[in-house]
Amino acid sequence: MTQDLIIAKPNLPLSYPIQGVEVMPLQTIVIPGLGLHGVTEEKYQVILRASLGTLNTLADISDDVVSGRGEKKLTILTSNMELLNFILKHVTYTSVVYQLSAVDMNRKISSLVTITVKAFLRYHKLRRLIKSIRQYYPDIKIIVADDSNITEKIEEENVEHYIMPFGKGWFAGRNLAISQVTTKYYLWVDDDFLFTERTKIEKLVDVLEGTNLDVVGGSVNGNTYRFQLLYQERDDSGCLHLRFGSFHKLEGFPNCVITSGVVNFFLAHTDTSRHASYDPKLQRIAHPEFFMDGLGILLVGSCNDVTIGHQEHKPPSDPDLTKVENEYKKFRTNTQEQIKFKLALHYFKNRLKCYSQR
């Protein structure tokens, strides 16, 4: 809910806003209500400071009068009160920091993180994934949500295997897996990933423990798949624009940036993810949609120094496994009908007037 704008009366004698001014991340506004009143001096000096952004003025004034443009401290020095108030009327604030960082801390990973995975048909890949996890994290809990038609038992220590109705879908499986997480964080991985010596969960934990981010992604064989989500508000609806890339670096973590969405390998706050949720209507290819639904809820980062491997795509030599892979591909591909349904769903539930991607 938008708060009403409140301007402090000029008894300082400076008037300024104390409530109701909203700035979207990385956007610029003109600060309302700034002015000097009721004093007469030979020289006037006004110093404005910002902690999380930068200050400037739209007024075309020399640097002798206005100094510190584009910095956290803006100084105005003039003998002309009318000019001073003209400058103050056009002072701008630009948001340059998406969120704050705090200090790092270390804890036992298995007490903080559960690994979650959605499985479908390809048990040979799932078993290889689990084996690679155990090589580096022998005690960590793994939760598997499985909607295969012919199921195999995964009976290993610290693995919880949940069987779903056949073909229930990608996001339904994510919701089931995350509903069973009891740790602060969960690490999402695909069933055909592989842990390596560079899959350092500890580094991702450090990021979430040291900032107010909700999600932090790594890379899959070097692919971070970062994208920005920009929402343009209209009177009764809005437009959503997806742009590949990131916003800016994450302070205190030189290998990390702030973004809106990440690759399908990420660590997330369990409670916040449950709040954002995965729409079970999306059954097949669906990943950016989670971050679209979480826009305004999830703060997202991405770090390129934490990497997970991907199992090779070459056809298996075993004819039975080849049959499984071929069956899997039938369900993996999105049909045009499903793509249209996905877009219509997002237009409806997010009250969108338009959507673009580039």
Q: Are residues 73 and 11 in the same domain?
A: yes
Domain boundary among 62, 95, 128: 95
Give the pLDDT confidence score for residue 305 in this predicted structure: 94
341 inside domain:
yes
Domain boundary among 95, 123, 153: 95
Q: Are residues 113 and 91 in the same domain?
A: no
pTM summary value: 0.67
Confidence of residue 105 (pLDDT cuts 50, 70, 90): very low
Give the pLDDT confidence score for residue 31 in this predicted structure: 92
100 inside domain:
no
Q: Are residues 16 and 154 in the same domain?
A: no
Confidence of residue 234 (pLDDT cuts 50, 70, 90): confident
Decide which of 357 and 178 is more confident: 178
How many folded domains does the chain comprise?
A: 2
35 inside domain:
yes
Phi, psi for 331 (deg, rounded to 5): -90, -20
Q: Are residues 61 and 191 in the same domain?
A: no
Per-residue pLDDT of 33-55, as tens digits, reads: 899 887 888 899 999 988 778 99
Q: Are residues 317 and 343 in the same domain?
A: yes
Q: Are residues 207 and 91 in the same domain?
A: no
CATH number at residue 281: 3.90.550.10
Q: Which of 200-209, 219-228, 232-241 has the lowest mean pLDDT?
A: 232-241
Domain boundary among 95, 121, 150: 95
1 inside domain:
no
Range of the domain at 255: 109-328+336-357
Give the pLDDT confidence score for residue 249 in this predicted structure: 94
